[in-house]
Copies of this chain bind each other. A is one copy, B any other.
């Protein structure tokens, strides 16, 4: 269950566990967003003063590391049905949906590459499927990393701060149409393509953009697999 990295076990009831601390942080994150996530508020959530947290956690950074893994706690691997491509697609789609479901999750997770136990569980599962699909060991590892970085990067844009327009009362849709308007207004002589493609650039939803990029990436993986199974052997034909 809980991973005790040190040799200290819980003697009595410390009142505050690292686990409780992380879950309090999770609640604050959900309620106030990543900018409102402060040590003092996490402490208050536990009925405790800020300085007490530093007994259980070295830094805010360390708390964020723990929080990062906790965000992956209820992520689920897709069912093992269909070919490798369907499974990988479902993996990415679910990962994206999962991150989108938690407030500011992408901003917390972004760039925090040391994997905690929950992420390790998912990696283990995905690596297994990649190997079964016929990817070489080196390729499987690469693909695993690439997919993770891809989804995280994508969701980060999606969940991002909307720039300064966020302060104004504009929602996402309004920003998109306003951006389209702005593009269309550009001087045609110097920006012919931007003007011509204004709709194509600002029209598609984030969902569309994600699907598009994902399918292209999966296409790339499938050509890799075909080349690989040429060289490799006869290989198991994919289902």
Complex: A163 Cα to B123 Cα, angstroms: 18
Contact (Cβ within 8 A) A216 B221: yes
Question: Is A149 a contact partner of B157 (Cβ separation < 8 A)?
Answer: yes
Copies in the complex: 2
Encode contact with B along A134-152: 1 for CB under 8 Å, 0 otherwise: 0001101111111001101
Q: Does A36 contact B (CB under 8 A)?
A: no
Assess whether A204 is interfacial by the CB under 8 Å rule: yes
Which listed segment binds B: A9-17, A24-32, A188-196? A188-196
Question: Judging by beta carbons under 8 Å apart, are B193 and A127 in contact?
Answer: yes
Question: 0/1 per residue, A160-203, Cβ < 8 Å to B?
Answer: 11111111000000010001000000100011111011001100
Does A120 make an interface contact (CB < 8 A)?
yes
A212: contacting residue among B113, B146, B165, CB under 8 A: B146
| A127→B194 contact, CB < 8 A | yes
> Which of A58, A61, A201 has the most B CB atoms < 10 Å from its CB?
A201
Residue on B with the closest CB to A213?
A: B146
* B217–A124 touching, CB < 8 Å: no
Binary per-residue interface labels of chain A (211-230) against chain B in the complex, 1 for a CB within 8 Å, 0 otherwise: 01101111111011000000
| Contact assessment for B167 and A58 in the assembled complex, using a CB-CB cutoff below 8 Å | yes
B200 lies within 8 A of A113 (CB): no
**Contact A154/B157 with A197-B137, A201-B145 known, Cβ cut-off 8 Å:** no
